[in-house]
Chains A and B, each alone.
Chain A
Amino acid sequence: MNDQSQSIALSSRAAALRGRPSIPAFLASGTKIGGTLLKAAALAVFAFLLFGPLANLALWSVAERWYAPFKLPVSYGMRYWEVVFRPTGDAMSSLATSVSIASLVVVVALAVSVPAGYALARLRLPWRTFIMILFLLPQAFPSVAIYINVARVFYSLGLTGTIPGVVLVHAAHGLVYSVWIAAAAFAAVDRDLELAARNMGASPLRAFATVTLPLAAPGIMASGIFVFLESLDEFTGTFFVGVPQVTTLPLLLYNASMGGNYQIASITALILLVPSVLFMLIIERFLKADVLSKVGQ
């Protein structure tokens, strides 16, 4: 303790000695203020570049009329919000389609990745690294070329333009998150707890259901949230496989925007932002450091 405070005193004295004595004090404080102003300005510019596009989106959502020479909307109002949230409107049915597709995707992805994750974390598998990389591939390849061929195969099976077709495409794309995170979650469960349950006479299945699975649940929840969001935001796959019958929110946004209806497009975009922002705020609660450190291993 004494040593430490002594060394701090020494180092601060050294710092004081190194502080250029040749510069008058008022000049030094001047450059310091200048530096602070510069930093504040840089931070402000950064904030503008970051939030400017989002502010423009928010403005469009409440602009009833906005055209060329006017820098801000000519008249404001919530008319388009009413249009979007009208129970019979396109947006509400798209929202329902999107949410039901995303929920089904979570069910499908977790149904295949909880067993796969357990096998990857606990059982002996040959070519384990290769298998892990295999799940990454759909994210690592330019996806448009894959989706056009999926659409072609689905067309001959009658799956294009159907909810199951879109669910399958989204689930394959999200599989890397669900498998990798589930494997990490199972790997982070203390093996001794399982062994203790087995020693007390629990069957392997019972030990899994009452010990391993509950302990891995937060990680699996996180992977489910990842998959849900991926599906909610997915555009390219739906664009090729879902048209023209399945209109999710991203497709509605695209159609409105290309049709020049910026208000509807902006409000749809804001709806899509809500889960993303919520997720960013709560993710750390689900994905603990011990699980995160094992992702991809």
Chain B
Amino acid sequence: MSRPSLLGFLLIAPALLMIGVLFLYPLGFSLASAVTAGGQLSLTHFEKAFELYSTDILFTIFVVIVSTILTAIFSIMIAGVLTLSETPWLVAGLRALYRWPLFIPFIVAAQCMRTFLAKNGLMNNTLVATGVLEPLQATSFLDWRGIIITFVWKQVPFVTLMLAGAMASIDRATIEAGRNLGASRPRILCELVLPQVAQTLLVGLVLSFVTMLSVLSVPMMVAGSQPTMLTVDMAFRINSYGDYATANALGVISYALSAVAAWIYLRHNVKREVQA
């Protein structure tokens, strides 16, 4: 155990080789192809990407940020009820329900929403049947709203699972103390519980953010028309024009967006370590 073992390297080499060939090499390839033209460094592909797809870049940022914020709000609410509620049947019901979308593949979620959110889908029909909506007011949600709803539906269980786990492991005594001093439960959630689980929340949200940036099936199936998300544009550049340069420039832009999320996470971590 004292010296670095050669055996260890041999054992781990095949796995590292796989990551190298199937991830690092294509990653380098995409970066190189995005910033070179005719063998020289150039930003022409980025110019083209911005010229053709600036709307879609903004659209992607908008959809992903709104979805992340909504995911945060719903996850905090559900995890908060699971942790603080004093109504056993409500907690049991919620606990049995909330996890279901967790293991459902994105493509199945997309197909569900494609029918559920359509003009004649089950959502509008139920709203009309219960009298919430007039039949003429029913509209299709299959646009940016559909993408956001699908993302939130799929990611809330994931973030809630992490968050509820973290909340369950914090010291109950502080919560009891707050209750005894007469603080309302929403206030306890925001001022006592959330600061203690902020780290977990942030990890869950950063992972969700990157996941939502990578999903191709949901924007393709839930919202067909323009504007759309960068993943769809990349697929379109490749399949219709074989235009790898512009597609890779768009890819680098999507790396940059997830790098921002990673940066926020790291900065928060550094702050914590400085404080500690």
Q: Which residues of B contact A236 (CB under 8 A)?
A: 214-217, 231
**Size of chain A's interface in residues, with CB distance under 8 A?**
81
Contacting pair B101 A142 (CB below 8 A): no
Contact mask for chain B residues 92-103; partner A; CB cutoff 8 A; 1 contact, 0 none: 011001111111
Q: Which of B102, B238, B250 has the most CB of A within 10 A?
A: B238
Contacting pair B29 A149 (CB below 8 A): yes
Interface residues of chain A: helix, strand, loop or mixed (majority) = helix
Interface assignment of B240: CB less than 8 Å from any CB of chain A? no
Chain A proximity of B72: nearest CB distance (Å)? 17
Cα-based distance from A151 to B25 in the complex (angstroms): 12
Contacting pair B111 A253 (CB below 8 A): yes
Among residues of A, the one whose C-beta sits closest to the C-beta of B96 is A47
Q: Which residues of B contact A43 (CB under 8 A)?
A: 90, 93-94, 97
Among residues of A, the one whose C-beta sits closest to the C-beta of B123 is A52
Contacting pair B105 A272 (CB below 8 A): yes
Partner of A126, one of B4, B18, B120, B153: B4
Contacting pair A115 B14 (CB below 8 A): yes
Q: Which segment, of B40-48, B251-259, B267-275, faces chain A?
A: B251-259
With contacts A148-B244, A235-B217 taken as known, whether A142 is within 8 angstroms of B26 at the C-beta atoms is no
Partner of B216, one of A118, A141, A179, A235: A235
Contacting pair B14 A52 (CB below 8 A): no
Cα-based distance from A143 to B19 in the complex (angstroms): 14
Cα-based distance from A172 to B20 in the complex (angstroms): 10
Cα-based distance from A118 to B105 in the complex (angstroms): 30
Q: Which residues of B contact A107 (CB under 8 A)?
A: none
Cα-based distance from A140 to B27 in the complex (angstroms): 12
Q: Which segment, of B5-13, B50-58, B184-192, B194-202, faces chain A?
A: B5-13
Q: Which residues of B contact A137 (CB under 8 A)?
A: 19, 23
Contacting pair B107 A235 (CB below 8 A): yes
Cα-based distance from A296 to B77 in the complex (angstroms): 27
Q: Which residues of A contact B14 (CB under 8 A)?
A: 111-112, 115-116
Among residues of A, the one whose C-beta sits closest to the C-beta of B122 is A56
Q: Which residues of B contact A232 (CB under 8 A)?
A: 105
Contacting pair B107 A53 (CB below 8 A): no
Q: Which residues of A contact B153 (CB under 8 A)?
A: 49-50, 53
Cα-based distance from A49 to B257 in the complex (angstroms): 30
Q: Which residues of A contact B27 (CB under 8 A)?
A: 141, 146, 149
Q: Which residues of chain B from 73 to 120 have a CB within 8 Å of any chain A CB?
A: 87, 90, 93-94, 97-109, 111-116, 120
Interface assignment of B61: CB less than 8 Å from any CB of chain A? no
Contact mask for chain A residues 233-255; partner B; CB cutoff 8 A; 1 contact, 0 none: 10110011000000000100110
Cα-based distance from A53 to B101 in the complex (angstroms): 10
Contact mask for chain A residues 180-194; partner B; CB cutoff 8 A; 1 contact, 0 none: 000000000000000
Q: Which residues of A contact B217 (CB under 8 A)?
A: 235-236, 250, 254
Interface assignment of B175: CB less than 8 Å from any CB of chain A? no
With contacts A43-B94, A257-B221 taken as known, whether A276 is within 8 angstroms of B2 at the C-beta atoms is no
Among residues of B, the one whose C-beta sits closest to the C-beta of A35 is B87
Contacting pair B221 A144 (CB below 8 A): no
With contacts A53-B113, A279-B103 taken as known, whether A135 is within 8 angstroms of B30 at the C-beta atoms is no
Q: Which residues of chain A from 212 to 231 have a CB within 8 Å of any chain B CB?
A: 229
Chain B proximity of A102: nearest CB distance (Å)? 13
Q: Which residues of chain A from 162 to 191 have a CB within 8 Å of any chain B CB?
A: 168-169, 171-172, 175, 179
Interface assignment of A124: CB less than 8 Å from any CB of chain B? yes
Contacting pair B105 A142 (CB below 8 A): no
Cα-based distance from A59 to B254 in the complex (angstroms): 37
Interface assignment of A78: CB less than 8 Å from any CB of chain B? no
Partner of A47, one of B87, B97, B213: B97
Chain A proximity of B220: nearest CB distance (Å)? 8
Contacting pair A115 B248 (CB below 8 A): no
Contacting pair A51 B100 (CB below 8 A): yes
Partner of A276, one of B4, B12, B103, B254: B103
Cα-based distance from A72 to B125 in the complex (angstroms): 9
Among residues of B, the one whose C-beta sits closest to the C-beta of A14 is B180
Partner of B15, one of A71, A135, A229: A135
Interface assignment of A46: CB less than 8 Å from any CB of chain B? yes
A-B contact list, 9 entries, CB within 8 Å: A113-B15, A116-B11, A119-B12, A124-B1, A149-B244, A175-B18, A235-B217, A250-B217, A254-B221
Identify the A interface with B (CB < 8 A).
36, 39, 43, 46-57, 59-60, 68-72, 111-113, 115-116, 118-120, 123-126, 131, 134-135, 137-138, 140-153, 168-169, 171-172, 175, 179, 229, 232-233, 235-236, 239-240, 250, 253-254, 257-258, 262, 265-266, 269, 272-273, 276-277, 279-280
6 A-B pairs with least C-beta separation: A145-B251, A233-B105, A53-B112, A123-B8, A172-B22, A149-B26
